[in-house]
Amino acid sequence: MKIVFSGGRACTGPLTWGQRHVLRAAGTAAPQVRLVSVPDAPVPRVADALARLVVRHEALRTRRSGPDEQRVFDSGALSVDVVRCAPGESGAAAEAARERLTGPFDHGTDWPLRATLLACGEDVRHVVLVCSPLAVDYEGMELVVKDLAVLLRGALPVRTGPQPVDDARAQRSEHGARLTGRAIRFWTDELAGAEAVTARAPGERCAATLRSAAMDTAVHSIAGRHGVSASTVYLAATAGLVGALAGGPVAALRTVVSNRFYPDRRDVVATIAQDGVLALDLTVPGFGDLVQLAWRETMRAHRFARYDPDLLADAIAAPFACFDDSRLARHDVPALPDQAALRTSARRSALTWSRTRARDAFAVLVDGTGVTVRADGDLVSPADLECWLRALEGLLISAAYRDVAIGELAALVAGTAGPRS
């Protein structure tokens, strides 16, 4: 079916810093995907809510119109599938819709929002939403889902937050230049004492993914004990093992941050997330101390993650390890079993390999299926990459039951001591 939208303004403007950040990722940024449960609502009501959602948020009706330009449309039509299925078939139907909708976006011709309605009879039970990474980031997508739920019940207040085109124009101002300068100074100071994780020459890039329910259970237990997010625990473990790999007392990581530290950022439906930088001191006694340090440094990094990505790249040339956590928040946090049972569970962990187009020297990505490491083959061999992932799993399982000394980390990654000769 076609969902016709009309209203709002039509305009053009430059790309935002967040959009240019995505484009610099060379196609490795993933679309945002959500399965939204809705109260039984007739198809026309859901279609109307989607049309009003697109009118409300310019990011959802914008196409790229040039190397550094975007065009906002005031009218158009979305092609939306309506899939009718029995209640017991909704899971398989949702997965099929997700696979169908998450193909590559042509940012110049495709609308940045794709949707499929899953209906039982005449009523919609679920909506599968997929947004281009150039349109919304993780938290922007959360706002899209929230607004859709409200629109299905009625109307929303008038929108007051900035639209992407307005944001992009402000970033070209003197204020934007000051933000970029401040970020460059912060990054330079943070990285001054850190060793870059770099290979001597570009090698073949590969990616390995470890799917380990035991590791994720351990992470949530550690997070609960320290009062931090699971992402912070994964970040601290990554920093500790990257530091052991680089062989220095300071581990530096680039990590995606939400950029919503400031009040005027909190309700923005757009791609505004950019990288922050953390330099973690590995002379702390134990892993618990490193977790707390990672939490504090992440909070600092949020304040200095608004900048022109091209100017920052010119100023910070050395490749540092990257970390990104794109998981949805878990509400069914597993209970920690006894250590023997968790280690038995870890024997069922699965390791898979894939090719990657990413240009990172070393990158760790956490998502809903596992932990993936992308690495330059001249830096870490496939065998050492597997060793690193197993070391990550081993560290986190041990840390769920005791405070692992930082001095133990080097032994865990003994097989990944540096570039191969």
pLDDT in tens, 49-72: 999 999 999 999 999 999 999 999
Q: Which domains does the chain have, with CATH numbers?
A: 2-168 (3.30.559.10), 173-412 (3.30.559.30)
Asked if 14 and 69 count as a contact pair (C-beta separation under 8 A), the reply is: yes
Closest to 196 measured CA to CA, from 149, 250, 257: 250
pLDDT of the residue at 319? 72
Residue 31 predicted with pLDDT over 70:
yes
pLDDT of the residue at 374? 87
pLDDT mean across residues, the chain: 89
- Span 200-237, pLDDT tens digits: 445 567 889 999 999 999 999 999 999 999 999 999 99
- Span 284-330, pLDDT tens digits: 999 999 999 999 999 999 999 999 999 999 998 777 789 999 877 66
Question: Which residue type sits at 181?
Answer: G
Positive/negative CA dihedral, 349, 355, 388, 398: negative
Q: Which segments of 283-396 are extended strands (E)? A: 321-325, 350-355, 362-366, 371-376
Model pTM above 0.85 = yes
> Of residues 24 and 182, which shows the higher confidence score?
182
Asked if 272 and 259 count as a contact pair (C-beta separation under 8 A), the reply is: yes
Residue 415 predicted with pLDDT over 60:
no
pLDDT of the residue at 331? 66
The phi and psi torsions of 369 (rounded to 5 degrees) equal -110, -20
Residue 245 predicted with pLDDT over 90:
no
What is the three-class DSSP state of 62? Answer: strand
- Span 81-138, pLDDT tens digits: 999 998 889 889 999 999 999 999 999 999 999 999 999 988 999 999 999 999 999 9
Residue 19 predicted with pLDDT over 60:
yes
Residue 368 predicted with pLDDT over 90:
no
DSSP secondary structure letter of residue 286: B
To the nearest whole percent, how much of the chain has pLDDT over 70? 94
DSSP secondary structure letter of residue 345: H
What residues have CB less than 8 Å from 64, skipping those under 6 apart?
15, 70, 71, 107, 108, 134
DSSP alpha helices (H): ranges in 163-286?
164-171, 174-191, 213-226, 230-246
Residue 199 predicted with pLDDT over 60:
no
pLDDT of the residue at 327? 78
Question: Which residue type sits at 112?
Answer: P
- Please name the helix (run of DSSP H) or strand (run of DSSP E) that holds residue 44, with its range, or none: helix 43-56
pLDDT of the residue at 258? 78
